[in-house]
Amino acid sequence: MAEQDKTSRRGFLAAAAAGSVLAASGAHAQGAGARAADKAITELPDWSKYLGDGVADRPYGKPSKFEAHVVRRDVEWLTASRQSSVNFTPLHELDGIITPSGLCFERHHGGIAEIDPRQYRLMINGLVDKELVFTIEDLKRFPRINRVHFLECAANSGMEWRGSQLNGCQFTHGMVHNVMYTGVPLKHLLNEAGVRTNARWVMAEGADSSGMNRSIPLAKALDDCIVAFRMNGEMLRPEQGYPVRLVVPGWEGNMWVKWLRRLEVTDMAHLAREETSKYTDLMADGRSRRFTFVMDCKSVVTNPSPQAPLLAKGQNVLSGLAWSGRGTIRRVDVTLDGGRNWREARIDGPVLNQSLTRFYVDFDWQGQEMMIQSRAHDSTGYVQPTKDELRKVRGVNNIYHNNGIQTWLVRSNGETENVEIA
Ligand SMILES: Nc1nc2c(c(=O)[nH]1)N[C@H]1C(S)=C(S)[C@@H](COP(=O)(O)O)O[C@H]1N2
Ligand SMILES: [Mo]
């Protein structure tokens, strides 16, 4: 945590040194006097004088070197090993609704499996009329679909149950990503195998060294699950399960088995480690709730946020993300004064089912302290709860499924912190 504290403070001070913090009085450009002294205007820069790299130099494109700070980050003390660990999507550096493939957070239980696609096989066995084995090429001959969906780890915001501990929306909310998947509806493969009448569940198993597995109710498997091989048009990244992962729209990320090697159709849940010991919700009364599959409606303001302070007075843009595992986002409310006044945010871009949705509030800032929150409503009428409302039911010993309202304190110098309103 000390590390990211330093990072955000360093970023802020660097911006202050560059003279941009609180310098401008609006979103509009400097006056004529400032312009005359600005070498960026009066002198021809190198990039206008010399030829640039040719086309052959970058066969696979990368972001500008000036964007090198836009990376997934981890929190070292959170996990004991690098292979069973997690890093976080830099939400505060992104816009729109699609997460660039190279910035999708990663969560692995046994490191990244490196699978040769020619050796890859997917088996369907169990309560089926015929057991089947598919290669990648077999999968590509089934009718395929394209869907944009968020994947959120159930442990996202898990450190927030006991109060604010991580200073950055990358760290509090960055276990979510949103990409376009291309793949075969799981129902086509199950129909091909012929599901027996006593079947109720499908156990999905990964080919990584953790062999991670989860039980999916058959109804969900036949409804909207996808056996996906592409993300954002290209083949899945190794981190995201190359060459094949299961997409389980709206449901907790743990069920989206990566490096998918086997689907066993069963009459009862497998009661695997990840659905008994892990990914269960320890309630206030000490009992444990299992099978909390759906990720409830949630939102977060990505800018400003602790790693993305406000830099100028005057016209500003607040930006954020909202999503619901139960449908689409219908509305997002934003408060700048800790919940006394709420205004409706402006949603812009596609509003898709079980997908991240982008919202904005265009506002004027005169250096007043602000307590910023967002509150999302989904298409079922559900409204995102406060953290205290959740704690009343779930206590504070839980880790998973925290979809509570997040608060950022913006100080008069623009610095922003993760806080809670008592
Ligand atoms: N085979 C396998 N699948 C897996 C995991 C894993 O470790 N092994 N991690 C799960 C967890 S806990 C989550 S949150 C998501 C993370 O997906 P991502 O790495 O694409 O973000 O993958 C899930 N699928
Ligand atoms: Mo997860």
Residue 5: its pLDDT value, please? 41
8 Å CB contact between 202 and 266: yes
**Average pLDDT score over residue span 122-127:** 98
Q: For residue range 367-380, what is the model confidence (pLDDT) as tens digits?
A: 999 999 999 999 99
For ligand 1, atom 6, the nearest C-alpha belongs to: 108
Q: Which of 73, 108, 173, 227 to mutate to test the pocket of ligand 1 (most atoms within 8 A of CB)?
A: 108
Q: Report which bound ligand comes closest to the CA of 84.
A: 1
In DSSP terms, 131 is beta-bridged to none
Residue 79: its pLDDT value, please? 87
- Indicate the helix (H) or strand (E) that contains 187: helix 186-193
* Confidence band of 125 (pLDDT split at 50, 70, 90): very high
The CATH homologous superfamily of the domain defined by 73-286:
Oxidoreductase, molybdopterin-binding domain (3.90.420.10)
Residue 10: its pLDDT value, please? 40
**Average pLDDT score over residue span 319-334:** 98
Q: Report which bound ligand comes closest to the CA of 154.
A: 2
| Range scoring the smallest mean pLDDT among 101-105, 345-349, 394-398 | 394-398
Q: Report which bound ligand comes closest to the CA of 176.
A: 1
| Range scoring the smallest mean pLDDT among 46-50, 133-137, 274-278, 334-338 | 274-278
The Cα–Cα gap between 222 and 185 comes to 8
Residue 86: its pLDDT value, please? 94
* CA dihedral (360, 404, 276, 289) positive or negative: negative
Nearest atom in ligand 1 to the alpha carbon of residue 155 is 14
Q: Is the pLDDT of residue 230 over 80?
A: yes
Residue 4: its pLDDT value, please? 42
* Confidence band of 11 (pLDDT split at 50, 70, 90): very low
**Average pLDDT score over residue span 280-295:** 93
Nearest atom in ligand 1 to the alpha carbon of residue 252 is 14
Q: Is the pLDDT of residue 336 over 80?
A: yes
For ligand 1, atom 1, the nearest C-alpha belongs to: 206
More confident residue, 122 or 421: 122
Residue 29: its pLDDT value, please? 62
More confident residue, 385 or 55: 385
Q: For residue range 232-271, what is the model confidence (pLDDT) as tens digits?
A: 999 999 999 999 999 999 999 999 999 999 999 999 999 9
Residue 30: its pLDDT value, please? 63
For ligand 1, atom 10, the nearest C-alpha belongs to: 254
**Average pLDDT score over residue span 323-335:** 98
Classify residue 339 as left (phi > 0), alpha (psi -120 to 50) or beta.
Answer: left
Mean pLDDT of the chain: 92
* Confidence band of 409 (pLDDT split at 50, 70, 90): very high
For residue 70, count other CB atoms closer than 10 A to its CB.
15
Whose tokens are 């913006």? That residue is 410
304: cis peptide before it, omega within 30°?
A: yes
CATH code given to domain 298-419: 2.60.40.650
Q: Report which bound ligand comes closest to the CA of 115.
A: 1
* Confidence band of 196 (pLDDT split at 50, 70, 90): very high
Ligand 1 binding pocket, CB closer than 6 Å: 104-109, 151, 153, 177, 206, 208, 210, 212, 239-240, 253-254, 256-259
* Confidence band of 320 (pLDDT split at 50, 70, 90): very high
Q: Which residues contact 28 (CB under 8 A, 6 or more apart)?
A: 315
Q: Report the separation in Å between the CA atom of 270 and the middle of ligand 1, taken as the mean of its atom positions.
A: 18
The Cα–Cα gap between 187 and 177 comes to 24
Residue 78: its pLDDT value, please? 87
- Measuring CA to CA, which residue among 203, 198, 169 is closest to residue 186? 203
Residue 28: its pLDDT value, please? 58
For residue 110, count other CB atoms closer than 10 A to its CB.
15
Q: For residue range 23-82, what is the model confidence (pLDDT) as tens digits?
A: 444 445 667 677 778 999 999 999 999 999 998 889 999 999 999 999 999 998 888 888
Q: Is the pLDDT of residue 109 over 70?
A: yes
pTM of the model: 0.92
For ligand 1, atom 11, the nearest C-alpha belongs to: 254
- Measuring CA to CA, which residue among 167, 177, 77 is closest to residue 406? 167
**Average pLDDT score over residue span 393-408:** 94
Q: Report the separation in Å between the CA atom of 153 and the middle of ligand 2, taken as the mean of its atom positions.
A: 4
Q: Report the separation in Å between the CA atom of 16 and the middle of ligand 1, taken as the mean of its atom positions.
A: 39
Residue 51: its pLDDT value, please? 95
Query: Structural domain boundaries of the chain?
Result: 73-286, 298-419
**Average pLDDT score over residue span 168-174:** 97
Q: For residue range 154-167, what is the model confidence (pLDDT) as tens digits?
A: 999 999 999 878 99
